[in-house]
Structure 1
Amino acid sequence: MRKRCGFALFALLLASAGAAAETLRIAADVWPPFTDARLPGNGLAAELVSTALKRAGHRPEYVEVPWARALRGVQVGDYDLIVSAWYSDDRARYGLFSKPYLTNRILFLKRKGSAVDFQALADLKRYSIAVVRGYSYLPSFDADASLNKVPVKGFQMGARMLSAGRVQLTLEDELVARFYLSRELKGIRDQLVFLSRPLSENGLHILVRRSHPRHQQLVEAFDQAMQAMREDGTYQAIFARHGLAQP
């Protein structure tokens, strides 16, 4: 009798999910290994998010656009949610954040054998640091005009400058850096090492537009599905499928 009641409840939940199911336009920019249409599942973050949304009974439609367009699209209703967003008060005005489903650890890299170290921002003043133009790493770091920050077009350029001795540090999300160091930067991988202390750690969330009539329910269902994925091993299996170790 208890099994039959459980099945009936499960069927009712499925029927409810089906009634609320819809196609969701989920937006992201190119940010491997997290989001990139050239990667399996459109990237690690995109696959995690899409899997959770499908479990919640929805049909995610992945759209890859520049970051500024993704933010604007959620504000005007072109997209239903952004796949991978850090929290900010400004974004919270027009979007509802999920619980974090990943953590971005921003780490410095130095040349192997270098005595360069970092324990506090003041320690960085004597070093030259390659930073990606337009990136935000940490408000206090970004605003510190006393630091010798050398703007570059991307992490790849900063890593090559570091390898060549043109700067003493660069920095990037750990998984992003490892992605590039295992591919196009493979030739200099053994010349660089990570510093153990992160500059910052930021939770990665989905950001659902508040103009969506069921934005609260979407976020709650996503959070529940992501937790279930952690408990049943799906979360870990997606990491493994992308060749990445879970932090």
Structure 2
Amino acid sequence: MRVWVLLLALLVTLPARSEIIRLTNGEWPPYFGEHLPHHGVGSRIVEEAFAREGVEVQWEFHPWARALRMAERGQRTGTALWLRSPEREGAFHISEAVLESGYVLFHRRDRRFDWQSVDDLQGLRLGGTLGYDYGEAFQQAERDGRLQVARMRGERQGLDMLLAGRIDVLPVDRIVALHLLRNEYDVTERARLTYHPRPLRVDTLHLLLSRRVSGNAELLARFNHGLAALRREGLLDRYLDDLQQTLALAH
């Protein structure tokens, strides 16, 4: 009897083991990155929201298209973080908004630039990243030929071309651009660039959990509950404020 009492007491005092899930991710610093602290601020928010619900996240980093495809097929529990779309709603349970991403137009300081609508961008040499959607008005103007857009592999190439004077304007997520400028360019190069405060597009980013994985509807409800707790505690604002302070760029 004493042995059973001792075993019962031991089981009661042992911490409960966390449920473990596998999520795919990609490279988009400072939001996401395999070698960033906490794997990036977006990954940190996802991980901590799940931790509130006793769920441990194991991250796998892949090219973005593969990360989405693996989750859609149910090979992994889900993937972080993505725009909401009708196609994705059919394949995934989609969370409440985790982050907000805002594209702005970067340009050189020595070039006066102002705009009110996409039509004001006609005649400019525009850059862009392959596969990125800059909003219906921009995309339609590009398809119609009213905007001439040089699509490139990534934001770094776009910033290089902007500094070299090969393009006039580059749409890019403000936080992503500031992170690149702070970490991969010298102070002289950073001083040559700025951005227009008017956003080209503002979106929310969401966790996607595959509809092919049993129990994911309930898991998403738990995630949203943990995310709401982080928001109430002010941690979401704190993490984002801390990030923006480190990336401050006078303009």
1:214 aligns with 2:215: yes
Residue 38 of structure 1: CA displacement? Answer: 0.8
Asked if 2 retains the 8 angstrom alpha-carbon contact of 1:24 and 1:60, the reply is yes
Q: How does 1:155-194 map to 2 (within 5 A)?
A: 155-187=155-187, 188-194=189-195
Residue 212 of structure 1: CA displacement? Answer: 2.3
Post-superposition CA distance 1:81-100 (Å, at most 9, x none): 11110011111111011111
The aligned amino acid for 1:152 is: M
Q: How does 1:88-167 map to 2 (within 5 A)?
A: 88-144=85-141, 145-167=145-167
The aligned amino acid for 1:146 is: R
Residue 154 of structure 1: CA displacement? Answer: 1.6
Aligned match of 1:225: 226
Distance in 2 separating the partners of 1:27 and 1:33: 16
Distance in 1 separating the partners of 2:132 and 2:58: 27
Residue 21 of structure 1: CA displacement? Answer: 5.4
Q: Aligned to 1:59, what secondary structure does the other structure show?
A: strand
**Structure 1: 5+ residue stretches without partners:** 1-14
Post-superposition CA distance 1:69-123 (Å, at most 9, x none): 1111112111111111001111111101111111000111011142222211111
Residue 161 of structure 1: CA displacement? Answer: 1.5
Residue 207 of structure 1: CA displacement? Answer: 0.6
The percentage of aligned residue pairs carrying the same residue is: 27
Residue 159 of structure 1: CA displacement? Answer: 1.2
**Structure 2: 5+ residue stretches without partners:** 1-11
Change (3 A) 1:147 1:84: same
Aligned length: 230
Which structure has the greater CA radius of gyration?
2
Residue 126 of structure 1: CA displacement? Answer: 1.8
Asked if 2 retains the 8 angstrom alpha-carbon contact of 1:86 and 1:205, the reply is yes
Aligned match of 1:12: none
Residue 51 of structure 1: CA displacement? Answer: 0.6
Residue 226 of structure 1: CA displacement? Answer: 1.3
The aligned amino acid for 1:151 is: R
Q: Aligned to 1:96, what secondary structure does the other structure show?
A: strand
